[in-house]
Amino acid sequence: MDFQAATQNDAVEWRIADALVPYDATVATMEARVAAIHVGAERELVWLVEHPPLYTAGTSADTADLIEPSRLPVFRTGRGGQYTYHGPGQRVAYAMLDLTRRGRDVGCHVWRLEEWMIRVLARFDVKGERREGRVGVWINRGSHDDKIGAIGVRVRHWVTYHGLALNVDPDLGNYAGIVPCGISAEVSGHGVTSLAALGVKVTMDEVDAALRATFDDVFEAVPPCRS
């Protein structure tokens, strides 16, 4: 598995995958890194990847939400949440962070992941928002909301892994094979979107730079949920 070098600080290592990374390989890599962080053998890691087209099923996934089971490979995973889509054009940020150092509060960690995406979007003049009872980041479309960023996390020994998925320019048609995150467009009126679908032309390198530039302000500060 090849990586491009990325900016690092003393506490957190950054990696950017230079090719599509198979999902099962990412899970194995994350689990090994989490174990190493727990015993102090490795630093925290933020790993930015893209996956081949696939669906993942979190611990709350309902099989009825897998509408087209033969459309793409499906991976059962230990992260929280339901079904989601991963594929080229979507930036997945796997955050392997030590909550013993950052505050043992999983809810605040999820808040930070949302805040991270909101600040990244703001750099491209896009207003991302939270919605009560719906994890992730949403775009207000007037009569409904469209989801642009999904979150799924797991914590082991107070070290987090999995993370967020921000839609830059993926094939949104593949969301038709699932009920993403358990939210049916037919029932709720909500959908999914991407920066490209919003008319925002941005490269993955630019998104990665925004992720790096906003990380410290979000994760090194005390969030409102802990104040």
SS3 content of the chain, % helix, strand, coil (to 5): 30, 30, 40
From 181, 207, 211, 218, active-site residue:
181
Q: What pLDDT was estimated at residue 61?
A: 85
108 is catalytic: no
Q: Which residue, among 143, 142, 21, has the nearest Cα to 91 in the 3D structure?
A: 21
pLDDT at 16: 98
Angstrom distances, CA of residue 196 to CA of 69, 100, 167, 206: 27, 37, 8, 13
The per-residue pLDDT for 182 is 60
pLDDT at 83 over 50: yes
Q: Of all residues in the chain, what percent carry a pLDDT higher than 70?
A: 91
Identify the residue with better confidence: 78 or 37. Answer: 37
pLDDT digits (tens, 9 = 90+) for 37-69: 999 999 999 999 999 999 998 888 888 889 999
In percent, the amount of the chain with pLDDT more than 90 equals 74
**Are 44 and 11 in contact, with CB atoms under 8 Å apart?**
yes
pLDDT at 198 over 70: yes
Residue 181: predicted pLDDT: 65
Beta-bridge mates of residue 16: 4, 48
Q: In CATH, what is the architecture of 3-221?
A: 2-Layer Sandwich (3.30)
Contact 119, 216 (CB under 8 A): no
Where does the chain show beta strands of DSSP type E?
3-5, 12-17, 44-49, 54-57, 74-76, 83-86, 90-96, 129-131, 134-140, 145-156, 159-167, 191-192
Instruction: Give the residues across from 95 on adjacent strands.
Output: 46
Residue 73 has pLDDT above 50, yes or no: yes
pLDDT higher at 192 or 226:
192
Backbone angles phi, psi at 222, to 5 degrees: -80, 120
Categorize the per-residue pLDDT at 9 as very low, low, confident or very high, splitting at 50, 70 and 90.
Answer: low
Lowest mean pLDDT among 1-15, 42-56, 75-89: 1-15
Taking the whole predicted model, whether its pTM rises above 0.95 is answered as no
Confidence of residue 78 (pLDDT cuts 50, 70, 90): confident
H or E stretch covering 50: none
